[in-house]
Amino acid sequence: MRIVSTSYSKTEDFDNPAEWLKRISFYSGILRELATQHEVTSIERINYEGTHEQDGVCYHFIKLNKTVVRFPFKMHRLIKDLRPDVVLINGLIFPMQVIQLHFAVGRKAKIIVLHRAERPFTGIKKYLQKLADRYIHAYLFTSFDFSPLWKNNIDTRKIFEVIQASSGFEPINKPEAKRMTGVTGEPVFLWVGRLDENKDPLTVIHSFLQYLDTQPLAKLYMIFQEDKLLPQIKSIVNAGKWKVGSIILIGKIANQQMQSWYSSADFIISGSHYEGSGVAVTEAMSCGCIPIVTDIPSFRNMMGRGKCGFLYKPSDQGQLLKLLMETKEIDLEAEKGRVLAQFKNELSFVAVAEKIDHIIKLQKKI
C-alpha cells in the first residue's frame, strides 16, 4: 500500500534534509520500518525544497512561507498526486486542514492522526475537531487512558494504543559508557528534560536530597535544554552543604551523545505531569536504563502497566522517596532485562511499525 506521512507545521531552523531527518529520527525510524512492507512517502516542511531518499522512504521537502498554512493547496495537490491508500497526519491541532485533505484525496484514502501531546481544543475550535473527526479513521495515542480527556472532541472508539516515537539506541557496556561520559556514582540516576513546572524537577531534587541521607554515594545527573527553573534549582542544590556534588547540572548534550549517557546510568527519573510519548524515557529504555517515572497515561502504558520500572504520583515527594529507597533492594540486572524486553516487544521501531501496519490493514477492510 501507499502511505504518505506529513504535518502541517514548519520548522524554520533546518535547511538540510539529512540534518532534519537526524533531528526527527525518533519518528523517521517508524517510517523506515513501514517501508519494508509499503511504499512510504513523507512530506516535510523546512527551509528546503526538493526530494531526498533515505532508508527506503521518499522525502518530499516543500518550502511554504508560513509556519502553519490554513489552506495548504500545494501540499494537498502533492498528496493527491501520490494516490495514497493511507495518510498519516502528525498532530491533532489541524482539523481545518484535515477536512480539506479529505476532500482532496477522496473517500478511499484512510486518514490516521498521531497524537503529539496536544490537549483538546475548547471553544469554537472544539467544534472544528468534532467536524474533522467525521473524516478521520483512526487516532494513535500512547495510551487508551487519554480517552476521557478527548471524549468531548473526538470519537474515542477510534483510538488505538500505539506510541508515536521510538529510539535507535542500543546499550553500551557500562564501564565503557562511563569512560565516555565521566559519570561516577553508585547508583547513577539521570534526568533528561526541560526545567519547567510540567517536568517538575523540584519534586525530584527534594526527594533525591533526602535519599542521599542513606545512599551518599548516589549521584543525579541532569541534562536539560530549557532552564526556566535553573536558578531555583541551583539554590536548593547549593543549600545541601555536604550533598553538593551529588546533583550535577550538565545542561545541553547533543542527541547523538545520549546513547552513552543512558548507558552510563542505572535509572532514568522523571517528574512529568503530562507527556504525549516521552521520547527521553523511550531512549533510556532502549539502553536498559530503568525508569522511575510519574503515574500518568503515557508512562503507565510504556511500562507495560507493571511489567517494568517504577511509577509514583506526580508531585508526591514521599512516594518518590519510598521508591528511591526500594531501588536498593532490587536486582538491577534482572530489572534491566525486563526494561529491554518491554522496549523490544512494545516500543521499538519494529514493534511500533507492526502495530501501525495492523491498524492500516484493519482500516482498509472497513
What is the CATH class of 2-166+349-365? alpha beta
Per-residue pLDDT of the chain (366 residues; tens, 9 = 90+): 999 999 999 898 899 999 999 999 999 999 999 999 999 999 999 999 999 999 999 999 998 778 888 899 999 999 999 999 999 999 999 999 999 999 999 989 999 999 999 999 999 999 999 999 999 999 999 999 999 999 999 999 999 999 999 999 999 999 999 999 999 999 999 999 999 999 999 999 999 999 999 999 999 999 998 889 999 999 998 887 667 789 999 999 999 999 999 999 999 999 999 999 999 999 999 999 999 999 999 999 999 999 999 999 999 999 999 999 999 999 999 999 999 999 999 999 999 999 999 999 988 766
- Whether the CB-CB separation of 78 and 62 falls below 8 Å is answered with yes
Residue 50: how many other CB atoms lie within 10 Å: 10
Number of residues assigned to the chain: 366
At residue 40, φ and ψ (nearest 5 deg) are -115, 130
Residue 133 Cα distances to 49, 142, 277, 311, angstroms: 31, 19, 22, 33
- Whether the CB-CB separation of 138 and 160 falls below 8 Å is answered with yes
Q: Distance between CA atoms of 141 and 348, rounded to whole angstroms? A: 16
pTM exceeding the 0.75 threshold for the entire prediction: yes
Please list, residue by residue across 304-340, b when 16 or more beta carbons sit within 10 angstroms of its beta carbon and e when fewer do.
beeebbbbbebebbebbbebbeebeeeeeeebbebbb
Residue 144 Cα distances to 206, 241, 302, 336, 357, angstroms: 32, 45, 12, 26, 19
Q: Distance between CA atoms of 340 and 332, rounded to whole angstroms? A: 12
Q: What integer pLDDT is reported at residue 241 of this predicted model?
A: 66
Domain locations along the chain: 2-166+349-365, 174-347
Q: What integer pLDDT is reported at residue 238 of this predicted model?
A: 83
Q: What integer pLDDT is reported at residue 273 of this predicted model?
A: 98
| Angle of helix 349-365 versus helix 25-34 axis, rounded to 10 | 60
Q: What integer pLDDT is reported at residue 259 of this predicted model?
A: 98
- Whether the CB-CB separation of 271 and 314 falls below 8 Å is answered with yes
Q: What integer pLDDT is reported at residue 65 of this predicted model?
A: 79
Residue 273 Cα distances to 83, 233, 237, 312, 316, angstroms: 41, 18, 22, 11, 11
- Whether the CB-CB separation of 357 and 37 falls below 8 Å is answered with yes
Q: What integer pLDDT is reported at residue 224 of this predicted model?
A: 96
- Whether the CB-CB separation of 162 and 356 falls below 8 Å is answered with yes
* Residue 227 exposed, middle or buried by CB count within 10 Å (0-12, 13-18, 19+): middle
What is the CATH class of 174-347? alpha beta
Q: Distance between CA atoms of 170 and 147, rounded to whole angstroms? A: 32
Strand partners of residue 5: 42, 88
Q: Which helix (H) or strand (E) holds 219?
A: strand 219-223
Q: What integer pLDDT is reported at residue 64 of this predicted model?
A: 79
2-166+349-365 and 174-347, same CATH topology = yes
Side-chain half-sphere exposure of 2, counting CA atoms within 13 A:
12
Q: Distance between CA atoms of 326 and 187, rounded to whole angstroms? A: 13
- Whether the CB-CB separation of 352 and 162 falls below 8 Å is answered with yes
